Structure 1
Amino acid sequence: MATLDIHDLTASLTEAKARWSPRITPQSLLGDEGKKALLGVIFSPADVALREAGPQAAAPPPAGAFSPEVDWRNKNGNHVTPVEDQKYCGSCVSFACTGVVESMASIELGQLFDLSEADSHFNSNHGPSCAGWNSDACMAQLQARGQVTDAALTYMSAFDNPPVIDPATSLWKPYVRPTPNRPASQVTISRHGLIGDINARKTYLDTTGPCAASFDVYDDFYSYSTGVYHHVSGNAVGGHCVEVIGYSESEQCWIAKNSWGAGWGMAGFFKIAYGQCNFDVYAFSTAGGVTVPATHGWSGWESLGGIITSKPSAVSWGANRIDAVARGTDSAVWHRWWDGAAWNGWESLGGDCQSGPAICSWAAGRLDMFVVGTDHQLYHKWFDGGWSGWEALGGMLSSDPTAVSWGPNRIDVFARGMDSAMWHLWWDGSHWGGWESLGGVCDSAPAVASWGANRLDTFVKGTDSQLYHQYWAGAGWSGWEALGGYVGGDLSAVSWGANRIDMFYPGAGFAMMHRWWDGAWSGEENLGGLLSSGTGASSWASGRLDCFVEGTDSAMYHKWYA
């Protein structure tokens, strides 16, 4: 097709008494291939049938069925995100549908998101191609798999730098890019649908929110500047998809957001007359029931009472279950537990403890607890429908023990020996193994976490008050590595999932400090408090942490992350 001459187009519009004005735009200067590259609707069989049936006369709306004017940029605030640019790629469907989801997140939840069109178009079942799509299929994918934020996957990161042309499509060549930790930024819809009736579309736009609309594009549309567009001259180029953000009964038009950048149209927006370009014929696509990632943060401190004389230890054997233990003033172990609704206890579990207790679990309803007795041996008591008596496991220990399970019927216990080295005892389902020395010169009780079968990560305070780490990955123990920082007392460690460790300890000012591993070490984070003991920690779900300490009043205090 020949590029429309702006003077000829202006004359045609004047002759037709058109309600819109043209100008030279970056899009109007493109050649045939460039203009087609900005489109990307593959009409569904249902849309083809609607087009072949032709426009249907709308029934007169009932009085007051919908407002005379709607624009979601100014309807109890602005719920329309900024205009984007799809570049040399037929991804308009994903830009329109993404815009709708962003608007619905603002309307339903009061949150403005910048979501990833690249994740929608290239990482979904559409695949890594700039070829077209249809809005109903796109919305179905957004419901099935969600969509990450643009910060997690920017649009331009899907292409080479500079972009290259895909010989199969003559458009830019995109790629599937990884989006690690999708749940952290994934936004999902719980429903999507189609609206065909004209009055129903207006009612939906008035009462619920924006929609995605497809229409036929003619050559003169690329020169649109302002006003209410209707086709005057030029040939049909292809199908396009945009976000419909409102309508005007006085102007008899739809109001829409395009995806060709803010240099086109009215800063990227346009109006199109009712009945034009099959805009009223193809069904509008809707989305709703937006769900967003939980916002995580720390809560507490809360007092759980009691009078304790050791650092607490805690474990979870299932969702919304926590068991915490500490030594009391009578040198016995005392137990409190959270059952999902309330804290229960304190209950005395007896014993004559030289140390604070350690507790772990390898199955629902199973607890294994360890203390160092006045004879410096390790003692073991377990719950499996009821509490057992105490059994002696030997050793000559000089610190609180710590314990963890990395699988059914497996327990690993660590403590400092009389030689200040770290010593290890384990249960393999049939007998106790060890004790074995793991070396080091420990100035604290050890801490241990496990994030997978046959994986153990141990931590101690060194004589220089720095943090030290040693791990087992199934074949042998690593050496000790220094992690720096300042550790002011006994520490704790816990894992909520694969390749994740969270560690807590008193800092220089006896506040609780936090470090974590998620593929790299982060922290230190100061979580406040005024600690009179080391820390205990547990986790009952990914993204959930529960921490316990002794306060200056000797009560047990709880702080949690959710």
Structure 2
Amino acid sequence: MYYTHTLTLMTSLISAAEASFSAVSWGDARIDLFGLAPDSSIWHKFYTGWDWQPASCFEKLPSSDVGALSASSWGEGRLDIVFVNATGGNVLHKYYGGGNWGPSWETAADLGGHVTSVASGSWGENRLDIVAKSGDSFVHKAWTGTEWFPSGTDWENFGGDFSSDPVVTSWGPGRLDIIGISSDGGSIMHKFWHEGWSKWGDLGGGPFIKTPKATSWGPGRLDFWAIDEEGKLNHLYWDGSQYQGWETLGGSFSHVPQVVHWNATKIDIVGKEESTYRLKSFDGSEWHPSKDGWYDLASDFGSEPSVVARRKTNFLSVFGVGEDGTLRTQIWTGYDWQPAADSTWSLGDLSDPYSEDKGEHRGYGDEWSEEL
């Protein structure tokens, strides 16, 4: 199972509040984290199933002047990193497969374009879809398994007039869904591929702000998430035959929370209110702690959260950047929070990510590796 998160355009001087990052998993034991460093390069840290590497700092991927980035995986041993050159607006692509980085460790492929934000996803092995924002419109290109469509540097123009960045998801092979917020009225606009591209459809709701989220727990199921002008989370879903919603789930958020599914019918949501992470879950029949209620998790975060769910195990890893600039994590083991519901482990200092002289490093890879 793979997970994707899209990052927004950022400046070279990164505060904790700006320190967006991407978390992706290609399998149960593996987690990869990517983000933008203060020098506008891409940092990388990964969990092997036993420990975090590098142990006391972060790996620097050869890159510079990075604006927005997105990370995804189509399966075991595969990573795709898509990022925007902040000066030229062109999209660059770097991938990991077969035990090596391509096109090489030092280089990335130039995919052309003139964009400000980018999202990526996959519906299966050897398929990568990239959707970017160019002006107020969305553009698209895809790796089909043998070549880029429409070409290595050209893009399909999907049109539209959007106030948000693009969002992509897939419920399975041959299906891709794209959403964004309309500049006219703030409703959710939806386009999908199923044996051909649909027209843009208006899903209503709103007016919504910021960039929405789209998720799926399996074939025939789509969930769309957006916040209104009061910061409340709103939810609409496709049940396989018709739309259900919109429903309001409470909260007071400045950005749309992260949403993951560890199994069919299961939903976990983590968002940030002020500096505290908040949690809500759906067990297949009802919301917990209630439809409009939220649990408190750890505090003193400056960034929005990123979440990875281990498929079929009710195991969650929550990541965020603390107000002190450190990357932090806490995990739900299936029966309790570690190290605790209100505390976290440090994974390193993102204000100086490539320095190895950081003293003792303690993370859950050190203390809980046998249980993970």
When the two structures are superposed, what TM-score results if normalisation uses the length of structure 1?
A: 0.40
1:396 to 154, 158, 161: 161
How far residue 332 of structure 1 moved from its aligned partner, in angstroms, is 3.4
1:479 to 231, 241, 245: 245
User: Cα gap change, 1:303/1:362 in structure 2, threshold over 3 Å: closer, same or farther?
Assistant: same
**Aligned partners of 1:296 and 1:521: how far apart in 2?**
33
AA partner of residue 318 (structure 1):
G
Whether the 8 Å CA contact 2:223–2:236 is kept in 1: the answer is: yes
2:219 to 438, 441, 453: 453
Q: What residue is the counterpart of 2:140 in the other structure?
A: 380
> 1:435 and 2:200 equivalent?
yes
AA partner of residue 91 (structure 2):
V
How far residue 351 of structure 1 moved from its aligned partner, in angstroms, is 2.5
**Aligned partners of 1:559 and 1:322: how far apart in 2?**
22
Q: What residue is the counterpart of 1:363 in the other structure?
A: 124
**Aligned partners of 2:329 and 2:101: how far apart in 1?**
14
Whether the 8 Å CA contact 2:215–2:260 is kept in 1: the answer is: yes
AA partner of residue 315 (structure 1):
S
* 1:412-443 CA distance string (max 9 Å, x none): 111001121110001112x1112111112111
Q: Which has the higher helix share?
A: 1
1:323 to 73, 80, 86: 80
Once the two structures are superposed, the pairs formed by residues 197-212 of structure 1 within 5 Å of their partners are none
> 1:421 and 2:184 equivalent?
no
What SS class does the counterpart of residue 141 from structure 2 fall into? strand
How far residue 526 of structure 1 moved from its aligned partner, in angstroms, is 3.5
Whether the 8 Å CA contact 1:301–1:559 is kept in 2: the answer is: no
**Aligned partners of 1:341 and 1:524: how far apart in 2?**
40
* 1:178-211 CA distance string (max 9 Å, x none): xxxxxxxxxxxxxxxxxxxxxxxxxxxxxxxxxx
Unaligned 5+ runs, structure 2: 1-48, 289-293, 332-371
User: Cα gap change, 1:502/1:329 in structure 2, threshold over 3 Å: closer, same or farther?
Assistant: farther
User: Cα gap change, 1:328/1:491 in structure 2, threshold over 3 Å: closer, same or farther?
Assistant: farther
How far residue 502 of structure 1 moved from its aligned partner, in angstroms, is 3.4
User: Cα gap change, 1:499/1:539 in structure 2, threshold over 3 Å: closer, same or farther?
Assistant: same
**Aligned partners of 1:358 and 1:446: how far apart in 2?**
12
How far residue 349 of structure 1 moved from its aligned partner, in angstroms, is 3.9
How far residue 409 of structure 1 moved from its aligned partner, in angstroms, is 0.8
Q: What residue is the counterpart of 1:468 in the other structure?
A: 234
1:410 to 154, 175, 192: 175
AA partner of residue 180 (structure 2):
A
When the two structures are superposed, what TM-score results if normalisation uses the length of structure 2?
A: 0.58
**Aligned partners of 2:212 and 2:164: how far apart in 1?**
8
* 1:286-329 CA distance string (max 9 Å, x none): xxxxxxxxx9999999756566444x544332235443444442
Bigger Rg, structure 1 or 2 = 1
User: Cα gap change, 1:339/1:426 in structure 2, threshold over 3 Å: closer, same or farther?
Assistant: same
User: Cα gap change, 1:332/1:539 in structure 2, threshold over 3 Å: closer, same or farther?
Assistant: farther
1:353 to 115, 124, 131: 115
**Aligned partners of 1:297 and 1:500: how far apart in 2?**
28
Q: What residue is the counterpart of 1:332 in the other structure?
A: 90
Q: What residue is the counterpart of 1:223 in the other structure?
A: none
**Aligned partners of 1:323 and 1:435: how far apart in 2?**
27
